Structure 1
Amino acid sequence: MSDAAWTDELRDFVDLKPRKSLAAEAAENLREFIMLGKLAPGMPVRERDLAEAFGISRTPLKEALRILESEGLIVYGPTRRPSVADPSLDEINDWLRVQGALEALAGELACSEATDRQLAEIERINASIKEARDTDGQLEAFRRDMAFHTAIVAAAGNAALAETHASYNARLWRVRFLSSQRIPGREATRREHRDIVQALKARDSAAASRALQQHLRTAETNIAAAMADLASEKESD
């Protein structure tokens, strides 16, 4: 794709988004472009082109890049030029294991701390995922999936846990979205979500913890398979 075509595609994408602060909006758009593979792992970030596509100056763009650097999505080389992070599978698995421990703790805490309304909302979000995939596509289904996990963490009522979880979640969005597109893993995901909801509704902390840990182990397997598929596609191109 030519530079002009790439910039035009990014501008069209941005025009569809609701307006926020310039830096926050730019960070959200960059985050989503990384998740969708429009900004591929290892790709240099062309600040001038991005600023033009977003219709902003480079100052809020630089602020947006600092936000994404703090999330582990952008890295700076020795010359301070930004590029999209390209973590290894080992690094991703390390993050997933931490994420699994965080979500297992969240499940335990939610069983004692969550209100009935919060548990009902978790169940509602889970029920909406398949419908979102059928009517709005995989991206919206993925957003609902991540909202399901975020709602569980919020129901735990622990601000430090929520902050740490959000940090790891941002790093894992791209690979989790990549793995969510694999049809073979979807039935296991639906079954595990049902187990999580049932354990939370029963306020069975041990069962909730086990179900969430198993779910993140499944995610680890799916992500490894998705990354292997992507590597094979690149080799065949």
Structure 2
Amino acid sequence: MTDRSPLAESLAELGPIEGRRTLAAEIADRLRDLILLERLAPGAPIRERDLAEALGISRTPLREALRILEMDELVTYSATRRPMVADPDVTTLAQNLRVLGALEALAGEEACAQATDAELAALAAAAREMAERSDSDEPLAFFRRDMAFHSGIVEAARNPPLLRAHAQFNARLWRARFISSRRRLKRARTLEEHLDIAAALSARDAAASAAALRTHLGTAADNVAAARHDPGED
């Protein structure tokens, strides 16, 4: 039996590509996870041949996937068009997080008026579940719960242009939000903020919901800056 490369081992941990969407979109999702877990490190070159071999695909759908990630600002290209993992500076990330905070604040306001009672109850339950499972979830599983909570708020706002704008900014901040989500040093504060958001939404208090979401995205910016300053501290 041939030994698998470390990259192939990492891909195997993420499970098979299920083919629900286009192959390129499925590959892009796999690469996002590798970037989140830093199996593809910030600033590292992406070796297309090795990656295509590890995925068991041709380089054509891989290049399509890389173009998707380029639009999401997770992949960038050198002057000679060689792909590499994006490594934006803290200022750029903070600016994008402020915009995302404004979008989520608006979503919170609109969700207070548009969401059903069942949707608000589901969001409150999700916030409690995150708190209960914080110590047992693997970082990627916890992050997916976190993002599902935020996406649920935006979806409950019933505003398609807002949904599209949020998806665009959230995609480019995927890794930054993962860095914030996995930091355990201030995990209790993050979980408390989720509960505050859910409580404000349940009360249909638009101003409190917007303020809580802005505060929460500000915490994410602080976490990202702290991680850059001291990457060894979780």
Same fold (TM > 0.5)? yes
More helix by share: 1
CA contact (8 A) 1:122 1:148 kept: yes
Hey, what's the Cα distance between the residues in 2 that align with 1:194 and 1:22? 37
The unaligned stretches of length 5 or more in structure 1 are: none
| Bigger mean CA deviation after superposition, 173-182 or 62-71 | 173-182
Q: How well do the aligned residues superpose, as a CA RMSD in angstroms?
A: 1.6
Structure 1 CA distance for aligned equivalents of residues 26 and 173 of structure 2: 20
Rounded to whole Å, the distance in 2 between the matches of 1:206 and 1:56 is 50
| C-alpha distance after superposition, 1:18-70 (max 9, x if no partner) | 51232122101100100111111111111111111111111111110111011
2:73, 2:172 within 8 Å by CA — same for their partners in 1?
yes
Which residue does 1:29 correspond to in 2? 30
Identity of matched residues, %: 54
Question: Quick one: which amino acid aligns to residue 17 of structure 1?
Answer: P
Structure 2: how far apart are the matches of 1:17 and 1:105? 37
Hey, what does 2:112 align to over in structure 1? 111
**Residues 1:196 and 2:197 aligned together:** yes
Aligned length: 228
After superposing on structure 2, the runs of 4+ consecutive aligned residues of structure 1 that deviate more than 6 Å are none
SS at match of 2:151: helix
Question: Kindly tell me: are residues 7 and 140 of structure 1, through their superposed partners in 2, closer, same or farther at Cα, counting changes over 3 Å?
Answer: closer
Partner of 1:99: 100
Report Cα offsets for 1:179-218 as digits up to 9, x if no partner: 2222221111111111111111111101111111111111
- In structure 1, what residue type is equivalent to 2:147? M
Q: How does 1:83-232 map to 2 (within 5 A)?
A: 83-230=84-231
How big is each residue's C-alpha offset from its partner over 1:58-95, in whole Å with a ceiling of 9 and x where there is no partner? 11111101110110101112211111111000000011
- TM-score, L = length of structure 2: 0.92
Aligned letter for 1:140? A
Write the distance in 1 (CA, Å) between the matches of 2:68 and 2:95. 22
Alignment-derived partner of residue 12 in structure 1: 12
Q: Is the 8 A contact 1:133 1:140 kept in 2?
A: no
1:5 is displaced (CA, Å) by 2.9
Equivalent-residue separation in structure 1 for 2:131 and 2:192 (angstroms) = 12
User: Aligned pair in 2 of structure 1 residues 60, 132: CA closer, same or farther (>3 Å)?
Assistant: farther
